[in-house]
Every structure is written in structure tokens, then in C-alpha cells.
Amino acid sequence: MKEASARRRRELVERMAAEGIDLALLTEPDSIFYFAHLWGYLGLENNRPMLLAVPRAGDPVLICPAIELAMARRMTDVSDIRVWVDGVDGEWPALLQALLEAERPRIVGAEVARLPGLVAAPVRDALPRAKLVDIVSILAEMRMIKDAEEIQAFRDGGRIAMAMGRAAEAKVAPGVPEYELTLAAAEAGVRKAAELLARDDPDSLHTPHYGALPILQSGQDMCLANRRVTGRVLEAGDPILYCFCEMATFKNYRTAFDRAVFVGSATDEQARIYEAAIAAQKAAMAAIRPGVPAEEPHLAAEEVYRAAGFGASYRIGRGIGCSLVETPELKRGERTPLRAGMVLGIDGGILVPEMNYAARIGDTVLVTEDGIEDLTPHPRELRAL
């Protein structure tokens, strides 16, 4: 994807020129991956920021902690890498200051709304004479449409997610702790990812592992929407919800994938609610096609919820990419037209707190010229295991 990163920087420069921006300063790890093909470093969480400067005229500059230099050289196509060392010569703010003094930009674009505290003050201090403008919307628009390599990563991510789902479901039985399901899912996901990486590039620095705690609820905890897996022991009649959206990541691209199953049996009311959630997702998917406003799939799902006797629910979906939530969000009031090449997570549901029950389902779809391609075609019907 190095060639893709260079192409994206060229497009960014064109957009900067149209907006009169002299230099773009990127600090978000997902943005640095997207525009510089660099990932996996310990950055802000380790007090070691990585910054990518893209001038309108001239070559990009990567400001890099010395500890990450070898990996940066291995991964990125950015040749001008300026290195800083902890506690030496003013660290990265000094390098940023020197860069800005050399470039003398009048207008600097940054991810202003997302600047972390560690970076925000030094960046603003380094720009006493330049105007700082937010380019989050420019970057978001660029990332909406996926290229062929990205789409292949999503297809493979779907394969990984479904392997995880099959492995987790095979463990469902009374007396089994929740974590046995996610242990099985993790192993299956890592093995599938390793198989796919070996197919593409045995020497790849992409990892087959994931870096997030699994989301799984069961029994009376179904309304705890993002509760992480615990040691709770499954009982006959339990509903189970698993969400592997953070686990099923491949080549830094995320996959939306949620399913609910039951231990042995479901009550009639649980089944009715779950069927309504499935019908709402189906209605949303049927509404997706190029040119449709992003709120339309959500409104289609809301009609199903109301017909089943439920009120408004949370958004039916969102764009996904190297971030869990990207533009557009599929919710009321979002008028961004859907376009072929977008990848969406369609993952709405129904929460019924008075029953301690929730029915959720989530999938990844690619918007095509005439509808969608389902990237996670795992069984959706009610299943008692």
C-alpha cells in the first residue's frame, strides 16, 4: 500500500491547494497510516508523538521518535525522517518549530478537533504567525471511498470475523464460561489472519493478532451494550451477544460483526424482538445504493422498529475503515449521499431494559453500483445452540 499512500498525499496536496492551505500536519495514528503507510508504533500512549507534515510544495516530512526509526524506515515511503530523542534538544516540538520556520506557512491544516492534549499546546505554540484550520472533514471525505487494496482487506477481514464467530459458537453450552468463547474466537481469528498474510506477503509487518478486549454479554447483562467478556458461566436459556468489531482487524482495517445466539432455547418474546432487529437490518441494507442520503437506511430501520412496537434506536450504521467510525454515520439528519466504494458497518439493534434484554446484529457491507456486497455473510437467523 506504499504506492497508495503516495497517491493519497498527492490528492491531499490538490485539496490543500483548493483551500489555500500551505501545510498539513497530521497527528492521528490512523491518518499517519493512511498517508504514510506506518503503523504499530507506541506513540501518544507512550508520550512519543509521531507527526507527518505534508507541504503544498515540497516533500513530506515525518517527525519520528528515535526508538521507532528502524520500523519507520522499513514501512514508509516518506524519505525525509527527522528523529528526536527523549529529553534531548527540545524533543519533537523543536523539530516542528524548525520545520515551520523553514516552510513559513501562512495557513496550516491540522486535525484540530482531534488534537490530543500532549500535542495541541506545542503545535499552537509553534504557529504564532500562521492560521490553524481544521482539515478533519477533508481527510474524512478522502477516506470515504475505498480502493481495490482496501476492499480486499475488508473482504479478508470478513473471513476472519466469520471464522471467529464459528469458533465462538462451537463453544456455546451450559456450564461454559464466557471467556472460553472469546478464547476460541481469538485463536480462530489469529490463525485465519496468519493464513491470509502468508498468502499475500510472508514477510509482512502486519500482525495476525488483535489489540482489543472482546465484547460479549450473556444472560441478564444483555443491555450492557459494550460490556467486555467476563468469567460468567453460561446457563440453559441464556441469550448471548458477541461483537468482534475491534477484534476482527486486518491490515489495520476494521470489520463490523455482531451476532446473538441462545443457549438451548429462546422465549417467544426474545425471539420476536430478535426477529424485529433482523428485519430492521434487512430494511436498512435494502435502502443502500449510490445517491441515497446516509440517513435513509436508518429511517428504513426505524419504520421496522415502530411497526414492531419499539421507539427510536441508535444509529443503524457508520462508515468504517482504519478507524471504527468514519464518515458518514447512518443516522437521522445525515444527508451525505452514499457512494459506490464506501464500506459501512450496519449494526443497529433493540434494547429492552425492563427485560434486561437486547437484540443486536452487525455486518460489514460494500456499497456497489446497484446495492451492496455483503462482506460478512454469516447466518443471521435466530439460532439456539
Residue ranges and CATH numbers for the domains of the chain are: 2-142 (3.40.350.10), 145-374 (3.90.230.10)
CA–CA separation, 360 and 316 (whole Å) = 10
Terminus-to-terminus CA distance in the chain, angstroms? 41
CB distance 90 to 57 below 8 Å: no
Please, which residues bridge with residue 244 across strands?
A: none
CB under 8 Å to 94, separation ≥6 — which residues? 84
Query: Each residue of 142-199: pLDDT tens digit?
Result: 999 999 999 999 999 999 999 999 999 999 999 999 999 999 999 999 999 999 999 9
DSSP classification of residue 336: P
Tell me the whole-structure pTM to 2 decimals.
0.95
Between CA 177 and CA 186, with CA 182 as vertex, the angle to 5 degrees is 150
Bridge partner residues of 82 (DSSP): 63
Give 341's contacts (C-beta < 8 A, 6+ positions apart): 144, 145, 146, 147, 151, 366, 367
* Residue 363 contacts residue 347 (beta carbons within 8 Å): yes
**Cα–Cα distance for residue pair 180/258, rounded to 1 Å:** 17
pLDDT at 136: 96
* Beta strand extents in the chain (DSSP E only): 23-26, 51-55, 61-65, 80-84, 107-110, 131-134, 215-218, 239-243, 258-262, 317-319, 326-330, 343-346, 349-352, 357-360, 363-368, 371-374
Q: To which residue does cell 464500506 refer? A: 343
Predicted confidence at residue 46, as pLDDT, reads 84
Length of the chain equals 385
3-state SS class at 285: helix
DSSP codes joined into one string, 94-132: HHHHHHHHHH--SEEEE-GGG--HHHHHHHHHT-SSSEE
The pLDDT of residue 65: 96
Report the pLDDT value the prediction gives residue 371, as an integer from 0 to 100. 97
Please tell me the distance from the alpha carbon of residue 371 to that of residue 245, in angstroms, as a whole number: 23
- Helix axes 2-19 and 29-36, enclosed angle (nearest 10): 110
Residue 330: closest CA among 263, 372, 285:
285
Q: Which residues of 20-40 are buried (b: 16+ CB within 10 A; e: fewer)?
A: ebbbbbbbbbbbbbbbbbbbe
| Positions of the chain with pLDDT under 50 | none
Helix (H), strand (E) at residue 212:
none
185: closest CA among 214, 219, 150? 214
